Amino acid sequence: EVQLLESGGGLVQPGGSLRLSCAASGFTFSSYAMSWVRQAPGKGLEWVSTIRGSGAGTYYADSVKGRYTISRDKSKSVLYLQMNSLRAEDTAVYFCAKVYSSTWLPFYFDYWGQGTLVTVSS
Amino acid sequence: QTVVTQEPSFSVSPGGTVTLTCGLSSGSVSTTYYPSWYQQTPGQAARALIYNTNSRSSGVPDRFSGSILGNKAALTITGAQADDESDYYCVLYMGSGISVFGGGTKLTVL
């Protein structure tokens, strides 16, 4: 059974940093791309970032490019999101999601975690 | 900037059929965008329903179907049930690792 468990959320001041983690199990972690998706309070879902299974390719939404870094640890089956220079508008529940295909396409998010809340406020 | 459009809200009667759509602010949606659809109850994780335009994700009942209608992707729910009342999101894969979510449709079953 695929399981994704996010952690690391919390309250941080504007301009601060936070690192989210997503512990994965139930599949061969290194074979699949992984993504982060966020949802601001009362708003819709927003794709944030994706990393290839190999870790060689990383992709970001314009809203976080240059501030966020996605990475993964194959030995621990953990996905990370390092968030720097945080802003109030980054406040959201952050979900990690597994990408369906080990060959990239067709591209979609087949399993999702329950999310972790990040609040950016002074 | 690419904007993916969805109806903000829709209602359907129990047992009825509803079609939600997913368009582009500029241009047409085609299968090359690998449209996918997700169901989310507020505060919960999203559940994948449809991928690659019209393939059902594992465990999804055949009441849910996907297609291209005109210049948009579409999600059709037949025989609507009370627990279909949720938010529905489409995602288009834009290539180069970039995905874009639509704004979501709040579906009411009444």
Sequential pLDDT tens for chain B (110 residues): 889 999 999 999 999 999 999 999 999 999 999 999 999 998 789 999 999 999 999 999 999 999 999 999 999 999 999 999 999 999 999 999 999 999 999 999 99
Reduced to 3 states, what is the DSSP secondary structure of residue B49? strand
| pLDDT score, position B42 | 80
Cα–Cα dist A111/B38, whole Å? 11
Per-residue pLDDT, A23: 98
Would you state the pLDDT for residue A41? 95
Edge to edge, the sheet with strand B72-77 lists: B4-6, B18-24, B72-77, B64-69
Strand partners, A76: none
What pLDDT does B102 receive?
98
End-to-end CA distance of chain B: 36
Triad A83, A85, A89: Cα angle to 5°: 85
User: Taking CB atoms and an 8 Å cutoff, what residues of chain A touch B44?
Assistant: 114
Backbone angles phi and psi of A28, in degrees to 5: -80, 95
User: Residue ranges of chain A with pLDDT lower than 50?
Assistant: none
Predicted local distance difference test score (pLDDT) of residue A20 = 98
Distance of alpha carbon A115 from alpha carbon A117, whole angstroms: 7
When CB atoms are compared, the residue of B40, B55, B93 closest to A107 is B93
- CB within 8 A of B95, min separation 6: which ones? none
Å between A78 CA and nearest CA of chain B: 19
Distance CA A43, CA A55 (A): 30
Would you call A48 helix, strand, or coil by DSSP?
strand
